[in-house]
Amino acid sequence: MSKSVKYAAALAGIVALAGFAIADAGQQYNIGKPVTEAHIASWDIDVNGLTGAGLPPGQGSVAQGTKVWEAKCSSCHGEFGEGAGKFPVIAGGTGTLTAERPDKTVGSYWPYAPTLFDYIKRAMPFPAPQSLSNDEVYAVTAYVLNLNDVVPKDAMVDAKALAAIKMPNRDGFIKAEWDTKNVVCMSKCAPAPVKITSDLVNLHVTPEEKEVGNVGSTVDRGNIEESADTTAAAATTAHGTGPGAKAASGPTFEQVQPIMAQRCTVCHSGKPTQAGFSSAPMGVKFDTPAEIKAQVAQIKALTVTSRQMPLGNMTHMTDKERGLLGTWIAAGAPIK
């Protein structure tokens, strides 16, 4: 397996039957149809990011790419690659990789330019993948590279040009290895009592979408990985206020009771008012403060954590209200 490609290719021709191929030792079942390159050409679209091998004939300019971008990409990724809503940001972020909140884009993060061609060709535009011609892919690749100051405004890009580009973060990647050293300690492994460093009781991120908007417009970003990233940043910020501080000035029962009355008691009452209910479902009633207090664990699990209640959200409970209930319960569900 360590022989050079050239040597191997030459040898393969001569001694193919001598078992030169590494995985040729096993039984041959004569199953499967032999195929030619012409037969599989339409599937064989991969481009090697490092070498550019597989880049097809064709070319495109930044100017041509502007047209493709505006017609087929900017609705999601923004006119200048800034990303609309939560769709991925494509440009900017240079020099932010060591920042508290890094901006990972084509320009700041991607190590290889041919990868950009490969990805756009196979997967973009998101609603209509594999609909662009090779020239269109070259052009919009040039446009994205120009947005990121990797090629000039008058650039024309083809296979050779793409393979020759050195992206700013080309040398930014290292091979991962196991990188932690915990031990099997059984007693007195940490100073007691342990300190809580992060407590999400006051940070209603899961899955209270609207609350998150309040934590920071930061989550209005690309895909799940990026969001994971930015909500994490939000968590740190939110914790700056300290869980204790919030709990002390937490919601009162006066705030909680009307919410329960409006969102739950229509069903969970000795006399339900919700159509279809003649008695409290499963006998669960929230008519009195004591009844509410007695069931806070369940109220939290079903309303705040899993949002299974109110049933089908028939009573239109808001995320804010769920958050308020959660904070109240976390603070010990004070009734006074």
Site membership for ligand HEC, residue 125 (CB under 6 A)? yes
In the complex, the smallest distance separating the C-beta of residue 63 from other proteins, rounded to whole angstroms, is 25
| CA-based nearest residue to 64, from 76, 56, 72 | 72
Nearer to ligand HEC, 106 or 113 (CB): 106
Q: Is 282 in the site for ligand HEC (CB under 6 A)?
A: yes
Considering beta carbons, is residue 48 or 75 the nearer one to ligand HEC?
Answer: 75
Q: Which does 279 bind (CB under 5 to 8 A by kind): other proteins, ligand HEC, none?
A: other proteins
Tell me the residue ranges of DSSP E strands in 121-162.
156-158
178 binds, among ligand HEC, other proteins, none (CB under 5 to 8 A by kind): other proteins
Which residues, listed in sequence order, are joined to residue 156 by a DSSP beta bridge? 61
Instruction: State the binding partner of 42 from other proteins, ligand HEC, none, CB within 5 to 8 A by kind.
Output: none
Tell me the residue type at 245. A
CB contact at 8 A, 256 and 329? no
Determine if 173 is a binding residue for ligand HEC (CB under 6 A).
Answer: no
What part of residues 200-229 is at the interface with ligand HEC (CB under 6 A)? 223
Q: Residue 273 touches which of ligand HEC, other proteins, none (CB < 5 to 8 A by kind)?
A: none
CB neighbours of residue 243 within 10 Å: 19
Q: In whole angstroms, how close is the CB of 185 to ligand HEC at the nearest point?
A: 39
Give CA–CA dist 95/237, Å, rounded: 22
Query: Is residue 238 a contact residue for ligand HEC (CB under 6 A)?
Result: no
Residue 102 binds what, of ligand HEC, other proteins, none (CB under 5 to 8 Å, by partner type)? other proteins
**257 and 335 Cβ atoms separated by less than 8 Å:** no
User: What CA–CA distance (Å, rounded) separates 65 from 117?
Assistant: 12
Token pair, residue 245, equals 């501080």
The token duo for 291 is: 């009844």
CA angle 6, 11, 16 (to 5 degrees): 130
Sequence length of the chain is: 336
Among 55, 155, 203, 317, binds ligand HEC (CB under 6 A): 317
Question: Binding of ligand HEC at residue 268 (CB under 6 A)?
Answer: yes
DSSP, res 302: I
Work out whether the CA dihedral 48, 52, 56, 59 comes out positive or negative: positive
Contact track, ligand HEC, 30-69, x by CB under 6 A: --------------------------------------x-
| Cβ contact 196:330 at 8 Å | no
What is the rounded CA–CA span in Å between residue 238 and residue 248?
16
Q: Which of residues 92-121 bind ligand HEC (CB under 6 A)?
A: 106, 116, 119-120
Q: How far is the CB of 255 from other proteins (least distance, A)?
A: 18
Strand-pair partners of 61:
156
76 makes contact with ligand HEC (CB under 6 A): yes
Q: Which two tokens stand for residue 162?
A: 């793409």
Report the site for ligand HEC in 296-315 (rule: CB under 6 A). Answer: 298-299, 302-303, 309-311, 314-315
Q: Does 127 bind ligand HEC (CB under 6 A)?
A: yes
State which of residues 47, 62, 90, 331 lies at the interface with ligand HEC (CB under 6 A): 90
Q: Which of 140, 155, 331, 333 binds ligand HEC (CB under 6 A)?
A: 140
